[in-house]
């Protein structure tokens, strides 16, 4: 149940405008995060295509991926995000 203070705040035009501004900013931040996520996915897909288009690159990345899978010490020394990205790659023969 709203208190007298809450009722006073919500009846204030300045507070209502402030609340609208905060909500708009939060919505814009969520939209930006979603666009950043979509952009990251597109960039990863583009990288995947470039790697698969080049037999030499494909072999190098296969070796890196195998090294990360087989050697725990190697994996522990690498950046976790790098390891995650390499392990997400799939290699297609053309």
Per-residue pLDDT of the chain (94 residues; tens, 9 = 90+): 667 666 666 677 777 788 888 889 999 999 998 988 899 999 999 999 999 999 999 999 999 999 999 999 989 999 999 999 999 999 876 5
Among 44, 64, 59, 43, CA closest to 94 = 59
Tokens of 29: 């931040």
């Amino acid at each position: 149940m709203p208190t007298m203070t809450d009722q006073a705040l919500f009846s204030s035009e300045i507070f209502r405008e402030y609340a609208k501004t905060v909500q708009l900013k939060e919505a814009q931040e969520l939209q930006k995060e979603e666009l950043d996520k979509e952009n990251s996915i597109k960039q990863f897909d583009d990288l995947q295509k470039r790697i698969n288009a080049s037999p030499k690159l494909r072999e190098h990345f296969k070796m890196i991926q195998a090294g990360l899978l087989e050697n725990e010490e190697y994996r522990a020394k690498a950046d976790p995000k790098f390891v995650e990205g390499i392990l997400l790659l799939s290699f297609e023969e053309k």
